[in-house]
Structure 1
């Protein structure tokens, strides 16, 4: 990688996960599952860069494309979310137009999924150093804790949401979070193998990669945010990408009292 960060204790070795193979075609519409993605921005140079990796060619979902690290919410994220909380402003914005009942724990689970998946796929940790031995952690979080950190939720900005179109082999309701590279630590170790060629790319370099369509859109949202001063990254309105009635649309998620304006 072209940017180095402080190192962490190496977690206990685990065998890499085998690539996912395509299974039988689903015969019914898939319901989108909660998922989250983390966009890490390095603003230490005159031209900002973002961390991306190429999905393994054997993956069922978006194979051989460059993406930001992320994945679906797991039970371990929901369990840990009962002990942690997002800043109220981020939790509130995550509650806009959700399916089911919005809760602070559900919002925290989304943020935790983004942090955990980023660690598993890239080795980057968004967390605070732990004092003493690792505390009890839900299964999927054990290696993160063994790396000597607790997850940190106050450094995240929720800035976009997208739902995978119908008819795909996987469907996700993905929330995109942004954080600064200064808040992360690199813990090289046993990655899960889902992302290859992990590196930092300027926005122009990223635009030339083999990107999924939604990643192109989100990358432009990142560009708009980075055009602002560093202390004003958060936006009140959040872009929401989905297909309705067979057409792709981009709307803005707003507080309920602003809907319809």
Structure 2
């Protein structure tokens, strides 16, 4: 376990998000670390948030956002690997199978909405949900089979936004359709594929840098992102920001 004091963390994140009284209970969130291993090096997809956002303005981040519980009911070509579902359900808080599925599917949906990348398999798909209509329009069945749990982090108290974020990973070859104009929202103003080392030097939040470091360590021993690997978990315990394993 590695630790950081509350003061040290506040200083590290001072430029990432507005400090001040915020919600006591963090909300579920999901983000997708999409990786490309073509060309002899691993690159990661990142996008720049608008400078108008109160939470991490102007920072480069992975596509993602708040979890929508209704996403658990979206039909998929394949579900989560059982080992990955078990990891997502581990740790504090009650995480049901439906909640774990919603978390993973929210990351898939947000990647479509923010980056125009549809992860899944080509095939007929229908849905009554407007936010999933793009998959139906482009004949893509969402799939969770290759999604991997990379890390979890809970925003410390004292921020204007608090999230219990699950960082998930997938390879670019799992993308069935890439829309040339990007996604239908304007959450991210710029999308770039960066080598992992270069990504760590970009204008990114402190926690994102920690996650990238963890990802590099995992890839060094697990280059294919096998299912069931231990997952780092960052959170405040007392007055210290600690790293545990799930």
**Category of TM-score, reference length = shorter chain:** 0.7 to 0.9
Among candidates 124, 129, 144, match of residue 122 of structure 2: 129
Query: 4+ residue stretches of structure 1 with deviation over 4 A?
Result: 25-28, 81-84
Contact 2:72 2:102 (C-alpha < 8 Å) held by counterparts: yes
Tell me what 1:239 maps to. 232
Tell me what 1:52 maps to. 46
Does residue 204 of structure 1 match 2:197?
yes
Distance change (3 Å), C-alpha of 1:49 and 1:27: closer
Q: Secondary structure at the match of 2:184?
A: coil
C-alpha distance in 2 between matches for 1:137 and 1:226: 38
Contact 1:84 1:108 (C-alpha < 8 Å) held by counterparts: no
C-alpha distance in 2 between matches for 1:222 and 1:249: 17
Tell me what 1:176 maps to. 167
C-alpha distance in 2 between matches for 1:204 and 1:82: 34
C-alpha distance in 2 between matches for 1:137 and 1:222: 36
> Deviation of residue 97 (structure 1)?
1.2
> Normalising by the residue count of structure 2, what TM-score does the alignment of the two structures yield?
0.84
> Normalising by the residue count of structure 1, what TM-score does the alignment of the two structures yield?
0.80
Tell me what 1:18 maps to. none
Distance change (3 Å), C-alpha of 1:140 and 1:43: same
Encode CA deviations 1:90-144: one digit per residue, 9 max, x unaligned.
11111111412x322111111100000011001111111123xx41232321223
Contact 1:81 1:108 (C-alpha < 8 Å) held by counterparts: no
C-alpha distance in 2 between matches for 1:49 and 1:216: 15
Query: More helix by proportion, 1 or 2?
Result: 2
Does residue 31 of structure 1 match 2:22?
no
Tell me what 2:149 maps to. 158
Tell me what 1:99 maps to. 93
Q: Secondary structure at the match of 1:192?
A: coil
Gaps of 5+ in 2: 1-16
Contact 2:21 2:158 (C-alpha < 8 Å) held by counterparts: no
Matched residue pairs, number?
Answer: 228
C-alpha distance in 1 between matches for 2:222 and 2:153: 25
